[in-house]
Structure 1
Amino acid sequence: MLDKHAKLERNAIAFVFAIIFVASIGGIVEIAPLFTIDETVEEVEDMRVYTPLEVAGRNIYIREGCYACHSQMIRTLQDEVERYGPYSLAVESQYDHPMLWGSKRTGPDLARLGEKYSDDWHVAHLINPRDVVPSSVMPSYAWLQRNSLKNEDMDLHLAALRKVGVPYTDEMIENAAQDTYGQARPDSEPADAFLERYGEDSNVRAFDGDPGRLTEMDALVAYLQILGRLTDVAHQQASNSTGGE
């Protein structure tokens, strides 16, 4: 066997073809399922899109590298389901570009984080994680509370997402900047217009606790509070599988 391997190493052309052959096997395993993606992704009636403020928060989440320590995909293993909640379904990520499933968990999985804690908890946690989780190794993101959110180009972000299949309407794209502001300003005219476009079930509140400013903290907390709540299908399936117990 070693003699055959030595001959292969000395034959550069054969070695290149061997590498291509082995690499192609992995490529086929990863690419082939994509041809049946339309059949594997569920269709649910209550699936909704990210709002402009949540898109902005997701962009900040990516910018700060949060995905490097937190996954957003609960596997079907019993211990994961018991710890984090119902396992993740493909439909829950159909509007995620890029997807943030992740594989490393320095911190906990965030797939079911939405509304698990209060906005105040998230703000305190992001400013100084050890104030609420003494054993946390997460760095502080206090500057998010000081940074004003730039929302002037949110229409471009939504337009780009529509290019890859997210069903934003022309009206949503045209009013993206105003809707970013309205979602964080309850009892305002922009908030009323936002609810007309995105539905009465959408979260409208001053996420960072300061209704006088629109900050990056507003956006990130809004995003964290919607994780796992774009659709309720996973919880419904879990309830059905346990007989509604």
Structure 2
Amino acid sequence: MFRSHYRLERRTIGLVLTIVFVASIGGIFEIAPLFTIHQTVEDAPNMRLYTPLELAGRNIYTREGCYACHSQMIRTLRDEVERYGPYSLAVESKYDHPMLWGSKRTGPDLARVGGKYSDEWHVAHLISPRDVVPESVMPRYAWLLRAVLRTDDLSAHLKAQRAVGVPYTDEMIANAAADAYGQAAPESPLAEGVARRYGEATTLRAFDGNATKLTEMDALVAYLQILGRLTDVATHPVATAE
């Protein structure tokens, strides 16, 4: 065996062709499933889009590196399903660019954390994690409650998402900043536009407890509260896409 390998190493062209051949085998196994993806990925007709506020929260989540300690993908293992809920489906991440599945769990998986805790719990946890979970090693994010959320670039973020396939409309893009304010201020006139554009089921409330100021805490909590709730396909399966 080793003699054959040594002889192959002396023949540069043969060695290169062998490497290409072996590498292509792995490539075929990775690429081939993509040709049948429409038959294997579930359809989610009730899938809704991230609102501008939730998308801003997702950007903050990414900016702060939360994905380095928290995954967002529940595997089919029994202990994971019993702890976190129904295993994750590919269609649930169809509007995630980039996806935040992750591979490390210093903290718990967050794929279905939406609605599991109150807004007050999330705010308290982000301000001082050990006041809520004594054994937590998560850093504090208290300053998010003081940081005013930047909204002047939200339209550009929605437009970028549309460029990679997320079906945001021109109206959604044009009203991105107003909708961010409206979602966190349910009593304001702007709230009506959010519900009209993103659906009546959209959560409208002051996520950080203060409706007079739009903060990065509002955005991050809004994002955490929608995780696993963009569609109910995991709990109410539908037929696979055709």
So what's the TM-score if we normalise by structure 2? Answer: 0.92
The runs of 5 or more residues in structure 2 that have no matched partner are none
Q: Matched residues in 1 for 2:118 and 2:215: separation?
A: 18
Matches of 2:67 and 2:13 in 1, distance apart? 40
Aligned to 1:88: 88
Alignment correspondent of 2:203: 203
Comparing 40-49 with 147-156, which one deviates more in the overlay? 40-49
Instruction: Give runs of aligned pairs for residues 31-70 of structure 1, distance below 5 A.
Output: 31-70=31-70
Alpha-carbon offset, residue 10 of structure 1 = 4.0
Alignment match, 1:155: 155
Number of aligned residue pairs: 238
Query: Is residue 8 of structure 1 aligned with residue 8 of structure 2?
Result: yes
Cα distance in 1 between the residues matched to 2:66 and 2:56? 14
Partner of 2:165: 165
Structure 1's unaligned 5+ residue stretches are 239-245
State the alpha-carbon separation in 1 of the partners of residues 80 and 5 from structure 2: 43
Deviates more, 1:4-13 or 1:81-90: 4-13
**How far apart are the structure 2 equivalents of 1:194 and 1:213?**
17
SS in 2 for 1:156: helix
Q: CA deviation at 1:168?
A: 1.2
TM-superposition CA deviations, 1:221-243 (whole Å, max 9, x none): 100000000011211249xxxxx
Aligned partners of 2:25, 2:107: CA distance in 1, in Å? Answer: 33
**1:241 is matched with which residue?**
none
Pick closer, same or farther for the CA change 1:25–1:65 going to 2, 3 Å: farther
Please tell me whether residue 224 in structure 1 is matched to residue 220 in structure 2: no
Amino acid at match of 2:187: D
CA distance in 1, matches of 2:141, 2:49: 26
Moved more, 144-153 or 10-19: 10-19
Alignment match, 1:115: 115
Structure 1 Cα separation of the partners of residues 140 and 23 of structure 2:
41
Aligned residue for 1:236, secondary structure, equals: coil
Amino acid at match of 2:121: W
Q: Could you tell me how far 1:51 is from its partner in structure 2?
A: 0.5
Q: Conserved in 2, the CA contact under 8 Å of 1:68 and 1:104?
A: yes
Secondary structure of 1:67 counterpart = helix
Please give the per-residue CA displacement for 1:118-158, whole angstroms capped at 9, x wherever unaligned. Answer: 11111111122111111111112222122111111111111
Is residue 102 from structure 1 mapped to residue 102 from structure 2 by the alignment?
yes
